[in-house]
Amino acid sequence: MGKLGVAIVGTGMIGAVHRRAAILAGAVVRGVGASSPERARDVAQAWDVARAYRDIAEVVADPQVQVVHVCTPNHLHRAMAQAALEAGKHVVCEKPLATTLDDARALAALAASTGLVATVPFVYRYHPVVREARARIADGALGPLRLIHGSYLQDWLLDPASNNWRVDPALGGASRVFADIGSHWCDLVEWVTGERFVDVSAAFETVIAERAAATGQSFTTPAAGGGMQAVSSEDVAAAMFKTGSGTLASLTVSQVSAGRRNRLWFEIDGARASVAFDQEDSERLWMGFPDQREEIFVRGPGAGSAEQRRLAVLPAGHAQGYGHCFDAFVADTYRAIAAERPEGLPTFDDGLRSALIVDRVIASARARAWTAIGQAP
């Protein structure tokens, strides 16, 4: 198989991350699409790629492109991913897969019908010590699960002067903080434990009622001055889940927690041991035992499960992080295109599962009641 030709559609922070991962995985970036033809030309020149596409139609018509990376605002995901699949292109689509459950269901069904590789970047699965946690739970080291708890906290929208397209439900979807980052936690915890959430009780709060009318690039310093506008999407959320086996799980998510840059944390407590992971300290996995012992497993290629070793591409003490997770995810996507079967590769089915959870969380928060999620897909 020759080098894959890829197109990157969307040129914000995450588009640049996709580009880097694609190149490291051995692909050739054939062109780029952006919010305008002018922006596409500027980025194509900066990235030293041959083509600046005017629109998605030009992207999917390019015979040199086998894979389309959709890195645009959320409301564009369904139309762009659908166009790529219908043109016979493999797709990497940013999460959420779509802003509605029906659109996510349609995309997952389309991907299945084409037989093309279609993946969603739930990349926290690719931390080596997360693979270690999953292996230990699967091996029975924790015993029957008793409790799952955790949080995903950020602070990049703490300042009312901060705004972004994600805050606007027309662009980001009906949920902001839960769909944006709570979805990552849910995917990760379900995948690590092997359990599925079946019921949820959730609450949303908008704690900053007005934000600057001007929007900026994600995670940048806000500009001072200017008008303000009302906010309707949530800044914080809390949810309690019950799994199919009866285990309770609790989650707190926030984009207004000072000092928390990107702290995805979970703890899984079993009858024989507990395990905890902190994305901001991702070289280490904590385990606790009932006889007052604690154990710290350190990421590295010399110990642990086979998947932990595979993904530990640097020696212990040479820190790996989010970028390495993304690189590994894209590389596994391309391996799947080459007919390999990488373990834990998140697909459009996982994107649909996430959309289902988000939809039910929104319904629960609106109804202020326990709400069934279900097992599908």
Query: pLDDT tens-digit profile of 190-213?
Result: 999 999 999 999 999 999 989 998
Question: What pLDDT is recorded for position 11?
Answer: 94
Could you tell me what percent of the chain has a pLDDT over 70?
Answer: 96
- Please compute the mean of the pLDDT values over residues 291-313 and round it to a whole number: 97
Q: How far is 114 from 116, CA to CA, in rounded Å?
A: 5
The token pair that represents 18 in the structure block: 């996709």
pLDDT-derived band at 216 (thresholds 50, 70, 90) equals low
Same domain, 221 and 76: no
pLDDT-derived band at 173 (thresholds 50, 70, 90) equals confident
Question: What pLDDT is recorded for position 221?
Answer: 55
Query: Does 265 map to a domain?
Result: yes
Neighbours of 220 (CB within 10 A): 11
The CA distances from residue 131 to 15, 108, 265, in Å, are 26, 25, 15
Q: Could you tell me if 7 and 52 are in contact, meaning their C-beta atoms sit under 8 angstroms apart?
A: no
Res 368 pLDDT > 70: yes
Question: What pLDDT is recorded for position 218?
Answer: 55
Res 219 pLDDT > 60: no
Query: Does 377 map to a domain?
Result: no
Query: Does 376 map to a domain?
Result: no
Res 179 pLDDT > 80: yes
Question: What pLDDT is recorded for position 220?
Answer: 58
Query: Does 338 map to a domain?
Result: no
Same domain, 254 and 306: yes
HSE value, Cβ hemisphere, 13 Å, CA-based, for 132: 26
Q: How far is 191 from 361, CA to CA, in rounded Å?
A: 18
Question: What pLDDT is recorded for position 243?
Answer: 97
Query: pLDDT tens-digit profile of 312-323?
Result: 999 999 999 999
Question: What pLDDT is recorded for position 274?
Answer: 98
DSSP annotation string for 157-189: T-STT---GGGSHHHH-S-SHIIIIIHHHHHHH
The CA distances from residue 63 to 5, 88, 111, 206, 331, in Å, are 9, 10, 20, 46, 22
Same domain, 129 and 14: no
Query: pLDDT tens-digit profile of 12-41?
Result: 999 999 999 999 999 999 999 999 999 999
Of 60-64, 208-212, 359-363, the range with the lowest mean pLDDT is: 208-212
HSE value, Cβ hemisphere, 13 Å, CA-based, for 358: 31
Same domain, 24 and 49: yes
Residue 77: give its domain's CATH number: 3.40.50.720
- According to DSSP, the residues that pair with 347 across neighbouring strands are 119
Angle formed by the axes of helices 183-193 and 348-367, to 10°? 120
Q: How far is 53 from 83, CA to CA, in rounded Å?
A: 14
Same domain, 59 and 174: no
- Please compute the mean of the pLDDT values over residues 69-81 and round it to a whole number: 97
DSSP annotation string for 12-43: SHHHHHHHHHHHHTT-EEEEEE-SSHHHHHHH
pLDDT-derived band at 229 (thresholds 50, 70, 90) equals confident
Residue 246: give its domain's CATH number: 3.30.360.10
pLDDT-derived band at 298 (thresholds 50, 70, 90) equals very high
Same domain, 198 and 105: no
Query: Does 333 map to a domain?
Result: no
Cis peptide before 96 (omega within 30 of 0): yes
- Please compute the mean of the pLDDT values over residues 130-147 and round it to a whole number: 98
Q: How far is 279 from 286, CA to CA, in rounded Å?
A: 12
Query: Does 190 map to a domain?
Result: yes
Q: Could you tell me if 67 and 7 are in contact, meaning their C-beta atoms sit under 8 angstroms apart?
A: yes
How many Å is the maximal CA-CA distance in the chain? Answer: 64
Output the CA torsion sign for 124, 128, 133, 136. Answer: positive
Same domain, 96 and 183: no
- According to DSSP, the residues that pair with 68 across neighbouring strands are 7, 91
Query: Does 146 map to a domain?
Result: yes
Question: What pLDDT is recorded for position 167?
Answer: 87
Query: pLDDT tens-digit profile of 38-55?
Result: 999 999 999 999 999 999
Query: Does 266 map to a domain?
Result: yes
The total number of structural domains that make up the chain:
2
Question: What pLDDT is recorded for position 168?
Answer: 87
Same domain, 215 and 134: yes
Domain span including residue 210: 125-316+348-371
Strand, coil or helix: what is 126? helix
The CA distances from residue 215 to 77, 95, 283, in Å, are 20, 21, 34
* Last-in-domain residue among 84, 119, 154: 119
Question: Which of residues 249 and 166 earns the better pLDDT score?
Answer: 249
Q: Tokens 């580009």 belong to which residue?
A: 19
Same domain, 236 and 107: no
Same domain, 180 and 306: yes
Strand, coil or helix: what is 146? strand
Sheet holding 51-53, edge to edge: 51-53, 28-33, 5-9, 67-70, 90-93, 118-119
Question: What pLDDT is recorded for position 232?
Answer: 87
Neighbours of 310 (CB within 10 A): 14
Same domain, 242 and 97: no
Q: How far is 245 from 259, CA to CA, in rounded Å?
A: 36
* Last-in-domain residue among 94, 119, 144: 119
Q: Could you tell me if 268 and 251 are in contact, meaning their C-beta atoms sit under 8 angstroms apart?
A: no
291 — phi, psi (to 5°)? -95, 30
Res 224 pLDDT > 80: no
* Last-in-domain residue among 119, 146, 174: 119
- According to DSSP, the residues that pair with 119 across neighbouring strands are 92, 347
Same domain, 207 and 311: yes
Query: pLDDT tens-digit profile of 232-288?
Result: 899 999 999 999 999 999 999 999 999 999 999 999 999 999 999 999 999 999 999
